[in-house]
Chains A and B, each alone.
Chain A
Amino acid sequence: MANKVVYAVYEDPDVLKDAARKLVTAGVKVRDVFSPFPVHGLDPIIGIKRTRLGIVSFMFGLMGTSLALLGMWYFMVHDWPMDIGGKPSFSLYQNLPAFIPVTFEFTVLCAAHGMAITYLVRNKTLPGMPARNPDPRSTDDKFVLELRSEDNADIDGVIGVLRETPVFEINERQY
């Protein structure tokens, strides 16, 4: 038997959320949801874990702080110390007040860009990538629930449950 994928199209985010809750309670596994904007409260229902991108950003930020301090210590204190305007560069500790602005800026630079690049790569959104949303209306005004026969053995029974929810339309495809 060929694998079957079912797309249940809804018109309202709250209706979709209720339908998803109903399906999950009935033991159905929801593969994914495609929506034109974030549907708050949906993630715990369909079992999506919290993203760790915040931690990624923090790590990149720490890297930026360290690199900035290391660099400025090397340039200003170690490699070629200069006495500019009666302000000699003796040690990192003594020069630290003057190094704070650049340390801050470089921390933000690394945290923001490190996170943004990780985000794009993890989402597989990069220039020239093909769009993989099953229904072009899902970026406009429709909310699409994706169910697969490989996750749900009794896919036809699932369609029965779907019909009991205020669904706008149901599309089935073989793949």
Chain B
Amino acid sequence: MHSESAIRTPLILGHKTYHDITHDIVAPIENKAPRGWYVLVTIAALIAAYGVGCILYLISKGVGVWGLNKTVDWAWDITNFVWWVGIGHAGTLISAVLLLFRQRWRMAINRSAEAMTIFAVIMAATFPGIHMGRIWMAYWVLPLPNQFGSLWVNFNSPLLWDVFAISTYFSVSLVFWYIGLIPDFATIRDRLTKPVQKRIYGILSFGWTGNAKAWTRFEEVSLVLAGLATPLVFSVHSVVSFDFATSVIPGWHTTIFPPYFVSGAVFSGFAMVQTLALVMRKVMHLESYITVKHIEYMNIVIIVTGSIVGVAYITELFISWYSGVEYESYAFINRATGPYWWAYWSMMTCNVISPQVFWIKKLRTNLTFTFFMSLVVNTGMWFERFVIIVTSLHRDYLPSSWTMFHPTWVDVGTFIGTLGIFFTLYLLFARFFPVVALNELKSILKVSGESYKQEAQHHHH
């Protein structure tokens, strides 16, 4: 068994037994949902329904109902796409990268963060889908023989790389998540007494028995999938950045984009994990498992990635001047001082300046402040994508084409709607799924549990 330093902060607070862990995580599934859950899910579902309405309206009328025009032909749609994919990255980072680094604190949050990843990627994939205009032709992105009506797809295009990257990312994340869920569904199955519920969780648990060989295989699969998901998650946002970087638009044609996009993605993803985790630990009484230390660790990741993003912004700005390319310099001067200055400075404030306050320990361990900051970071990251996309496009090479982008109610409704769909899915997850990886938490109880640590310390004296 691994041993851990006695002075390291425990990850499971209180005097928990294995049975207590099962009880604490499964009780919210067994019991009736609190009234607050019904209120929240109703609000989220109404917003989701409005979003679905906007999407259906868009599909029936065409992309013209969005505020896009000939010059700014990507705006909120692709902003939202990149924003949602970026949010998804934190889940994979927590479950895969932190697994490879043997970070035990990931175990309290990996399950919910992976759920967030899956729902965020679904939201992300919606946008390029509906932006196609004729979504019934969506199968044309697949390499289908010419008899289907088009030529082979172009494998030199980053847009096609994106199809492969996003679909691989989504399906691999889903499988990784579900394989981890199987043993926990078995725990719920063996605990429940109502026949219908028992049957449902029985089907979901795939007949898991938890014998020695199965656990050996489970650990091997988790490790190899983490090893595969780690380069995958870096590749996904790199490929998303290629959509921009391989073009010849000033402000997009930059080699710094892949690492800059990936760190921005992790930055915003951790902020969303904070938003969700802070509410969930309170409502579902998970304070013993998602401790202040967990929140602090995530805030440290936010400082690191936020600082990388800040360095990237400044490097980009410097290179635009140093390159001597007047189009490139203009693109950046225009971002900071042009008609979209407010978007640029919102981005700078939210992403570069604000995360630096987390250097102060008092602030990064303050839960209310962390919640507020998580919203600030995600607002900033939305503006980052908006700035990159819209300010680069709205000043064309031909000044007669210069224009502004004005979102319509459909743009706004679609974005707000995806938030509604996302939160509906997340609330359903929190109600019916084990929100913390039970089997993983139990495996660290004797190493990182508070009472075990105290006992060990007592023993030494």
Supposing A33-B212, A53-B217, A133-B190 touch, asked if A108 and B207 sit within 8 A by C-beta, the answer is no
B437 to chain A, nearest CB (A): 10
B456 to chain A, nearest CB (A): 13
Question: Looking at chain B's contact residues, is the secondary structure mostly helix, strand, loop, or mixed?
Answer: helix
Contact with B along A124-147 (1 / 0, CB 8 A): 111111111100111111000000
Q: A82–B165 Cα gap in the complex (Å)?
A: 23
Chain B residues whose CB sits within 8 angstroms of the CB of A50 once the complex forms? 216
- Judged by a CB distance under 8 angstroms, whether A149 is at the interface is no
- Judged by a CB distance under 8 angstroms, whether A173 is at the interface is no
CB of B224 within 8 A of CB of A71, answer: no
- Judged by a CB distance under 8 angstroms, whether B202 is at the interface is yes
Chain B residues whose CB sits within 8 angstroms of the CB of A130 once the complex forms? 202, 207
- Judged by a CB distance under 8 angstroms, whether A109 is at the interface is yes
Q: A84–B159 Cα gap in the complex (Å)?
A: 14
Query: Which residue of chain B lies nearest to A57 when distances are taken between CB atoms in the complex?
Result: B224
CB of B211 within 8 A of CB of A133, answer: yes
Report the count of interface residues on A (CB-CB < 8 A). Answer: 67
Set B155, B165, B215: member contacting A99, Cβ < 8 A: B155
CB of A34 within 8 A of CB of B172, answer: no
CB of A108 within 8 A of CB of B168, answer: yes
Q: 8 Å CB contacts to B: which residues of A72-109?
A: 72, 75-76, 79-80, 82, 84-85, 87, 89, 95, 98-99, 101-102, 104-106, 108-109
Subset of 16 A-B contacts with CB under 8 Å = A14-B1, A14-B446, A32-B213, A37-B443, A75-B152, A84-B154, A101-B164, A102-B160, A112-B225, A112-B229, A119-B179, A127-B204, A131-B186, A132-B207, A140-B19, A141-B17
Binding site for B on A (CB under 8 A): 13-14, 32-43, 46, 48, 50-51, 53-54, 57, 71-72, 75-76, 79-80, 82, 84-85, 87, 89, 95, 98-99, 101-102, 104-106, 108-109, 111-113, 115-116, 119-120, 122-133, 136-141
9 new A-B contacts, CB < 8 A, other than A108-B232, A112-B229, A115-B224, are: A36-B438, A48-B212, A51-B216, A109-B167, A109-B172, A115-B225, A125-B205, A131-B208, A136-B190
Binding site for A on B (CB under 8 A): 1, 17-19, 22, 143, 146, 151-158, 160-161, 164-165, 167-168, 171-172, 175-176, 179, 182-183, 186-187, 189-191, 202-221, 224-225, 228-229, 231-232, 235, 239, 242, 438-440, 442-443, 446
